[in-house]
Amino acid sequence: MKILITGGAGFIGSNVADGFIAQGHEVVVVDDLSTGFRRNIPQKAAFYQVDIRDEALQEVFEKEKPDLVDHHAAQIDVRKSVEDPLFDAQVNILGSLNLIQQCIRHGVQKVIYASTGGAIYGEPGALPVDETHPARPLCQYGISKHTVEHYLYLYQYHYGLHYTILRYPNVYGPRQDPHGEAGVLAIFTETMFTGRQPVIFGDGGHTRDYVYVGDIMKANLLAVERGQDRIINLGWGREISVNEIFAALKKELSMDIDPIYAEERLGEIHRICLDSSRAQKELGWQPEVSLDEGIRRTVEYYRERKGEN
């Protein structure tokens, strides 16, 4: 199968691209390199430096004729969505709509969409959150990602374009950019490697559901054949606080260092973790890499990168 991956030079998209190639699929990467890196793109993948909002996207579809699209390209920073909601909407909504229309015009069978479980639900009424919980996003990023879910439902209903929507938890692991992407574990690791104190916004009691990128990649592989026209949470269903993440990193790095606490940021929810029962039932997926093991692998990756520089 030929699979086009948007955002395939980014953190999660490139790991997913590796997984598809390992399975024997032909992979085409579309990325404007605004936050992604050429070094992340698999050598066996075809690459087009194209913004998903551009008309040039049509030329990629005309030439490559993909069977399936795995859509990861997005503006993903909550803070940036609050500061510049127009840009957030242009990329995440208009860019996605351009992509969906190309899928319809060129006979794509299915879209796998990387959505957000961390921002769509808002402050949940009960934890862990399942897919029936009302969507009440408290930031522009959550709204823009949720909007695309509605478009996918509409295009499936009217035009038969199938989809699987994967609502991601907080994903971490190798290739996460500590300078440009939202990712507390990557940011903390990079900061602590340089001997500086990491900044924790708020009191550090905010909780998230942290899942290793390799597990997220496996969910995308399973979604090629499963989860038809469904919204599916990915997660452990466990709350991990920012303070706990810092403590685990401090232990792994054997560093005697304290964080700096700063003012809480607008748009950030306080608690979230995701019920992935539907993922287990419909994808045959559950996370496997423990937090301690995931942190060990992540630290090893950044340590090797540091040695290369």
Q: What is the pLDDT of residue 307?
A: 65
Q: Is 172 a catalytic residue?
A: no
d(CA 184, CA 173): 11
Judged against a pLDDT cut of 80, whether residue 39 lies above it is answered with: yes
Single-letter amino acid, residue 249: L
On whether the CB atoms of residues 274 and 233 are closer than 8 A, the answer is yes
pLDDT confidence of 125, banded at 50, 70, 90? Answer: confident
Secondary element (H or E) of residue 253: helix 242-253
SS3 6: strand
Write down the architecture of domain 2-172+210-236+276-288 according to CATH: 3-Layer(aba) Sandwich (3.40)
Q: What is the pLDDT of residue 241?
A: 96
Residue-wise pLDDT tens digits, 262-309: 998 887 889 999 999 999 999 999 999 999 999 999 999 988 877 655
Q: Residue 124: is the preceding peptide bond cis (ω within 30°)?
A: no
Marked catalytic residue, from 121, 141, 210, 212: 141
Judged against a pLDDT cut of 80, whether residue 165 lies above it is answered with: yes
pTM: 0.96
Q: What is the pLDDT of residue 305?
A: 78
In the chain, where the domains are located: 2-172+210-236+276-288
Higher pLDDT, 264 or 50: 50
d(CA 4, CA 18): 13
Q: What is the pLDDT of residue 180?
A: 59
d(CA 113, CA 147): 12
Q: What is the pLDDT of residue 182?
A: 62
Q: What is the pLDDT of residue 179?
A: 73
Q: Which of 225-234, 253-262, 279-288 shows the lowest per-residue confidence on average (mean pLDDT)? A: 253-262
* Cα Rg, the chain, nearest whole Å: 19
Residue-wise pLDDT tens digits, 184-216: 899 999 899 888 999 999 999 999 999 999 999
Residue-wise pLDDT tens digits, 77-109: 888 999 999 999 999 999 999 999 999 999 999
Tokens representing 229 are: 């026209």
Stretch 31-37: mean pLDDT: 96
Q: What is the pLDDT of residue 220?
A: 98
Residue-wise pLDDT tens digits, 108-122: 999 999 999 999 999
Rounded to the nearest integer, the mean pLDDT of the chain is: 95
On whether the CB atoms of residues 224 and 157 are closer than 8 A, the answer is no
